[in-house]
Structure 1
Amino acid sequence: MTMNTLRDTRLSLLNLVPIRHGEGAATEALHETMELAVAAEEFGYHHYWIAEHHNMNAVASSATSLLIGQVAAATERIKVGSGGIMLPNHAPYVVAEQFGTLASLYPGRIDLGLGRAPGTDPWTARALRRGDATAKDLPAQVAEVRRYLAPGTPTQRVRAIPGQNTNVPLFRAVG
């Protein structure tokens, strides 16, 4: 690998927001997430993604969009996003509103990785209350999110505000 190739390589970081054992560890994990994001930006990383996981003692990334907003506020240039939001857990409309809001606050810096795995156990999936949404519904759910983030149409009755016309970049997350 030449120096030019290395210089042109875009590095990304995926953070699960790990929690170490001990009192106050979740709070520490959240603060360390911000510190890691700032360091990643200083080292020239291009993307900083946070993965969605629920009901795990060792992971503090359940409120993914909130963490993305905090990371974006703590940094200046690095692109921040989800690696990813598991659509069976969420209404596509709410995802579009949340990421549209983030994109409005941090233009050109927000990515939306979408996945199909529940990201948790069956009991927690039920607690997330997404009804009958399953992995097989992913293509339709992604299309719905994309429509809400696209420019509106005159006949469109439901609009993601903010969100409409932000065209947040979508990525396929593993899972």
Structure 2
Amino acid sequence: MSVIPPVQPSVLDTTLIGHTPESAFTDTIAVAQHAERLGYVRYRMAEHHDAPGVGSSAPAITVGAIAAATSRIRVGAGGDMLPNHVPLVAAQ
């Protein structure tokens, strides 16, 4: 008999631009902190370019800020646009 592991809730964020582009960054950090308080296990940043209302064109910067502002949630990039990065960045 196989045991199905419990579902570990995760977030995939695109840093939506709400009121201002400047507030998008602080809003994303607040969402990550809230997700951590709710027991989410992973917080991933998606990478998008030239999409209206989306501010996640540099997930490496956002990931670092979220990791610094949280303590238990695992933070990383959920998807990187490989043509936009040098091989070393893609490999990490």
Task: Please give the range of the TM-score, normalised by the shorter of the 2 chains.
Answer: 0.7 to 0.9
Pick one of 65, 72, 84 that aligns with 2:79. 84
The answer to whether structure 1 residue 12 and structure 2 residue 10 are counterparts is: yes
Task: Give TM-score scaled by structure 2 length.
Answer: 0.87
Question: Structure 1, residues 4-60: CA drift from partner, whole Å, max 9, x if none?
Answer: x8xx3200000011112x5xx111111110000001011110110011011223111
Q: Percent identity of the aligned residues?
A: 43
- Mapped to 1, the partners of 2:40 and 2:80 lie a distance apart of 21
- Mapped to 1, the partners of 2:59 and 2:28 lie a distance apart of 12
1:21-170 aligned within 5 A:
22=19, 25-93=20-88, 95=89, 145=91
Question: 1:85: how far off?
Answer: 1.0
Question: What is residue 173 of structure 1 aligned with on the other side?
Answer: none
Question: Structure 1, residues 110-140: CA drift from partner, whole Å, max 9, x if none?
Answer: xxxxxxxxxxxxxxxxxxxxxxxxxxxxxxx
Task: Report the count of equivalent residues.
Answer: 88
Matched position secondary structure for 2:80: strand
Task: Give TM-score scaled by structure 1 length.
Answer: 0.47
Alpha carbon RMSD of aligned pairs, Å?
1.6
Gaps of 5+ in 2: none
Question: 1:68: how far off?
Answer: 0.2
Structure 1 runs (4+) greater than 2 angstroms displaced: none
- Mapped to 2, the partners of 1:51 and 1:19 lie a distance apart of 14
Matched position secondary structure for 1:27: helix
